[in-house]
Copies of this chain bind each other. A is one copy, B any other.
Amino acid sequence: MTRTAVIAGVGPGLGESLARRFVTEGCQVGLLARSANYLDGLSADLGEDALAVPTDVTKRAEVEAAFDAVREAFGPVDVLVNHASGGAWKGVTDITPAEFDDALAVSARGGLLCSQAALPDMLDGNGGTIIFTGATSAVRGRGGAAGFSAAKFAVRGLAESMARELGPRGVHVAHVVIDGQILPPGAGSNGLPRGRDEYLDPDEIAASYWHLVEQDESAWTLELDLRPHVEEF
């Protein structure tokens, strides 16, 4: 089965691993991110099953245009990964209101806009899958990261609300709690500040995202966590 997927907020690391895995599984993939340069390189590498669409996911018109472009190239959207994340890593005494707003806009508003752009396709009888990338700070507010915690919590609340609303209508919404650091792109086993087994391998994270896409509607997961086996938690 060929699926059309959109990865919103793609970048080196997990976003890129998701794109590669999805293409390997037969998807055609729309790649949304701010940086046109990065996207062009990645889509060239992935070939004709990938489409680079430079997009600021916080801007409604840009998001709608991006989904139109993907739709035109590959057909209705079946899978959306809301992967964009941002915001200063600052505590309540340091963060500016603008930085706080920005964290919420990229993660929560961006997730809403992309979901709203994708849903007409999914609710048209075909169903679909929407996965939100979360973090430990989505389930446990982190001291010194007020904006990031608020934004990640907001995304989880949005995902849960959407799962309850959309599940009966055939759209699978899931939230993945990534607990730990992801292996930096291009990292060999040397040159890392910590041992390699202390990092999540983004290709292995992608395997669990793909499992969520493949789940039958009789047994859907709303949330799973992922961490390296040596992670203290």
Q: Which 10 A-B pairs have the closest CB atoms?
A: A141-B160, A153-B157, A143-B164, A154-B154, A224-B224, A141-B161, A204-B219, A201-B218, A149-B161, A143-B165
As a 0/1 sequence over residues 77 to 118 of chain A, the CB contacts with chain B under 8 angstroms (1 = contact) are: 000000000000001110101001100100011001101100
A-B contact pairs, 20 of them (CB 8 A): A91-B161, A92-B161, A92-B166, A97-B112, A97-B113, A108-B154, A112-B146, A141-B163, A142-B164, A143-B165, A144-B161, A146-B161, A150-B154, A153-B156, A154-B157, A204-B215, A207-B219, A208-B221, A218-B228, A224-B225
Interface stretch (choices A29-37, A48-56, A167-175): A167-175
Selected from B95, B140, B217, the residue in CB contact (under 8 A) with A160 is: B140
* Bound-state Cα–Cα, A151 to B154, Å: 6
| Secondary structure class of chain A's binding surface, majority of residues | helix
Find chain B residues with CB under 8 A from A215 CB. Answer: 204, 207-208
A220 touches B216 (CB 8 A): no
* Bound-state Cα–Cα, A214 to B207, Å: 10
Interface size class of A (residues with CB under 8 A): 35 or more
* Bound-state Cα–Cα, A59 to B104, Å: 16
